[in-house]
Amino acid sequence: MLNLKSIITFSVLLALSVFIFACGGDDSTENTGTSDTAASESETTSQGSSSTGVSEPVLGSEMFEKRQDFAFVVLSDGRLLSIGGRGVAKVANSGYMEYIATTEVYDPAADKWTQSGTMDYWRSVPAAVELDDGTVLVSGGAAHQRNATSLTEIWDPDTGEWTIVADMNQAREKFGLIKLANGKVIAIGGSDDVGQHSATAEIYDPAADTWTLIDPMGEPRIWHTTTVLNDGRILVTGGGNPDGPFKKGADIFDPATEKWQYAGEMSVSRSQHTATLMADGEFCCRWQR
Residue 138's domain comprises 67-175
- Calculate Rg over the CA atoms of the chain: 19
Pairing, β 52-54 against β 71-74: unpaired
Q: Which of 55-69, 158-172, 185-199 has the lowest average pLDDT? A: 55-69
Per-residue pLDDT tens for 199-222? 999 999 999 999 999 999 999 998
pLDDT tens-digit map of 245-258 = 877 788 999 999 99
Identify the band that residue 279 occupies on the pLDDT scale cut at 50, 70 and 90. confident
pLDDT for 19:
35
Q: Is residue 209 part of a domain?
A: no
**Contact yes or no for 41/53 (Cβ under 8 A):** no
Asked if residue 256 belongs to a domain, the reply is no
Report how many domains make up the chain: 1
Q: With respect to residue 90, please indicate whether it lies within any of the assigned structural domains.
A: yes
Closest CA to 131 of 164, 156, 95, 106: 156
Looking at residue 266, its pLDDT comes to 74
**36 vs 187, residue with greater confidence:** 187
The answer to whether position 8 is within a domain reads no
pLDDT over 80 at 22, yes or no:
no
Cβ within 8 Å of residue 231, ≥6 positions away? 14, 15, 16
Q: CB atoms < 10 A from the CB of 66, how many?
A: 12
**What band does 9 get if pLDDT is binned at 50, 70 and 90?**
very low
pLDDT in tens, 82-110: 999 998 765 555 556 788 999 999 999 99
Q: Which residues pair with 128 in a beta bridge?
A: 138
Tell me what pLDDT residue 159 has: 97
Q: Percent of the chain having pLDDT more than 90? A: 57
Q: Is 230 among the domain residues?
A: no
Mean per-residue pLDDT for 15-39? 35
CATH number at residue 73: 2.120.10.80
